[in-house]
Amino acid sequence: MTLGFLLDAILILVVLEAIVLGVWVLRRQGRVPAIGLLANLAAGFFLLLAARAAWVDEPELVMAALLGALAAHLADLGIRFRRV
C-alpha cells in the first residue's frame, strides 16, 4: 500500500464524515450543521489534499490546497472568535 493510496482513503473518509455528521445533525436537530464544523473539516481536507499533491509532485495543486486550507482555517477562527 502506498502513501498516495492511504491519503486518498483518508480524504474519502473525511468526506464521508462530513456527510454522516451533516445527516445526523439534520435528523436530530432539524437544522443544517454548524458552519464551524464544516470549516474545520474543510481545513483538514485541504491539508490532506496538499500532502497528497506534494506526494505525487503536483506543485500547483499543493499551492491551491494550501490556500484553501488557509481560507478554511481563517473562516473557522472567525467563527470561533465571533462566539467569544
Which tens digits make up the pLDDT trace of 25-80?
888 887 766 788 889 999 999 999 999 999 999 999 999 999 999 999 999 999 88
List, in order, residues 6 or more apart from 47 with CB less than 8 Å away.
Answer: 65, 66, 69
pLDDT of residue 25: 84
pLDDT of residue 33: 66
* Annotated domain spans of the chain: 3-83
pTM: 0.84
Q: Is the pLDDT of residue 23 over 70?
A: yes
Q: Where are the alpha helices (DSSP H) in 1-58?
A: 3-29, 35-55
